[in-house]
Structure 1
Amino acid sequence: MKIWPPMTFFLRSERIRRLSKEGFWIVLGQAMAVVGSLVGIRLLTELLGPAAYGELALGMTVATLVNQTVLGPLGNGVTRFYAPAVEHGDLGGYLNVVRQLVLSATGVIVLMILLTIAGLMIAGRTEWIAIATAALIFAILSGNNSILSGIQNAARQRSIVALHQGMDSWARFLVAAGLMLWLGATSTVAMIGYAIAAILVLASQYAFFRKIAHQDSVVVTQRGWHEQILKYSWPFGTWGIFCWAQSASDRWALELFATTQEVGLYAVLFQVGYYPTSMATGMAMQFFAPIFYQRAGDASDSRRNANVNSLNWRLTGLALGVTGAAFLVAFLYHTQIFQVFVAKEYGTVSYLLPWMLLAGGVFARP
């Protein structure tokens, strides 16, 4: 059927308005998360010295391990197959499989907690048991949050995703700071605060997620979702081990060959320089990932795949250009940036900020 030019213009205008609205919510959510994190860094560095901040950073590597190898890869698979499940009218079967997989993954992490406690007791490092346990519990909660956000993002419920991205960042640091003021400023108390904040965000996430679950509560036919999700996820989990080793090795190398205080200084530099850059890239990918998946479909059409690859390369070029501009700004104003976002005690490493920004932009490109 022929579509008249006015109708074509109308359809394009509607599409532009819809994408603009989605883009607004993504930018808002990521901006809230970045601002919350930067405010949080200022709060925590005022309360924790570099050594305690280094302990917190080492504890977070434990949580990162879980998310890189278990819940993170599973979340990628879950997000990938939401659109095909909707296309096949089997949202109920898909969600049923997701529930089973998440429960199984959580069971694996609980076993990891028990093994970690036993290993630390055998090694005589009982002082690490509390923070390691809190970090693994935080990993379970934040990983479940990420999976729910992935489904909601795939459903293009951008406002809900934006709300919880901002809420997660602000709640984590505010709850941790409040708990430290009440119980004492230690790395373990801060990690417990992270876990409590994750519980609050998860409760809110689940309340919104129920609306998606009720769209199709009847299991039509579980069209092999279990196998498809696992097949898609396992490469992420396998390579996630190496990604985690790469991302955590810097902190543990400083712990082994320098001091925990050096770990804390490096962690602040990483959060101020690397994190905002990776968040900016994540903002772009959060916007385009559902569009990529919808355009690719089941990835059987070579023309659709080529279109997606072309768009991805254009995004890569744009990301590298923005990274270069950010490097120049940080090179000129690194001292002033640290004075705003970090406690004075950490200012000695500000000169390394532009190089951390550059590393973050190159590594985190789409």
Structure 2
Amino acid sequence: MKDRAILGITMGDPASIGPEITVKALSHKDIYERCRPLIIGDVWVMEKAVKTVGLDKKIAIHPVKSVQEGIYSWGTIDVYDMKAIEEDRLKVGKISEASGEAAFRYVKKVIELAMAGEIDGTVTNALSKEAVNLAGHHYSGHTEIYAEFTGTEKYTMMLAYHNLRVVHVSTHVSLREACDRVKKERLLDVIHIAEDACKALGIEKPRLAVAGLNPHCGENGLFGKEEQEEIIPAVEKAKAEGMLVDGPVAADTVFSKAKGGMYDIVVAMYHDQGHIPLKVVGFEYDDDREEWKAVEGVNITLGLPIIRTSVDHGTAFDHAGLGDANELSLLNAIDYAVTLADNRKG
């Protein structure tokens, strides 16, 4: 049991659904059979969350000041108490500077623990980019925070839902800028990172697809020249290196092909091109009940020296404090982190 990976899991924005779905996720006994979860957050917020979701009779919160103090046993949630936000400053369901500062501190601490080798991987709950920026930390998201504090220059985001995996050439930039970032050098970097990620997941010979940027992959320059000038040269270079890569493949069919098993991973050119297909299959809304039946999928930062997986949804402030938020995406993120950590150890 001591060989179970230790995973640092951030609580997310304390005003969000993060604390609640964390409690729900860790109420699953099998999680403790596969890893040792350690929550990075505030004890009093987690204690409140346990009551909110109605599990205060079954789950106890255990404050710790170090990784070594954790009990790591089902029925007890170990919390690395950051004391980052005071009770009178927390506004559940609201964006605030105080919550943004707390969420940022949780992320910074989990990175420090991973970089020091005290934990085997990190999992992040959602934070509010607006709140973090209000607190004076000017990042466009988790990915950029991780990149800075790990000293990483070449990285990318991967989204995953079962066998459908997508990496991105660019993410949090305008669509106009995203088109300008489609360059051979960047594409090659992302293709290499994508192949490495698949191998880290146990796929020995990954099959990669590179999506086109323009409709019908530009129709030989009729709808744009990025395919001819940047994408095709990158794909040909990757093939020459011995990689199993196709492209450019029209973006309106490549994700269906990957979902059907033709490819192990798709290189998307920009944020929405990759996010939309993943969320169409992973997010399921029930109109009759006016609620989400499923919110599944994982966000993984590739190219880092440490493991980082995350929920593939936002803070859902409108559901915070209600106890009805769905923990499926967090469970998925924990599963991926365990797999990556175990493969890295093995």
Q: Please tell me whether Structure 1 or Structure 2 has the larger radius of gyration of its CA atoms.
A: 1
Higher relative contact order (CA 8 A, sep 6+): 1
Q: Shorter-chain TM-score: what band?
A: under 0.3
Higher helix proportion, which one? Answer: 1
TM-score by length of 1: 0.23
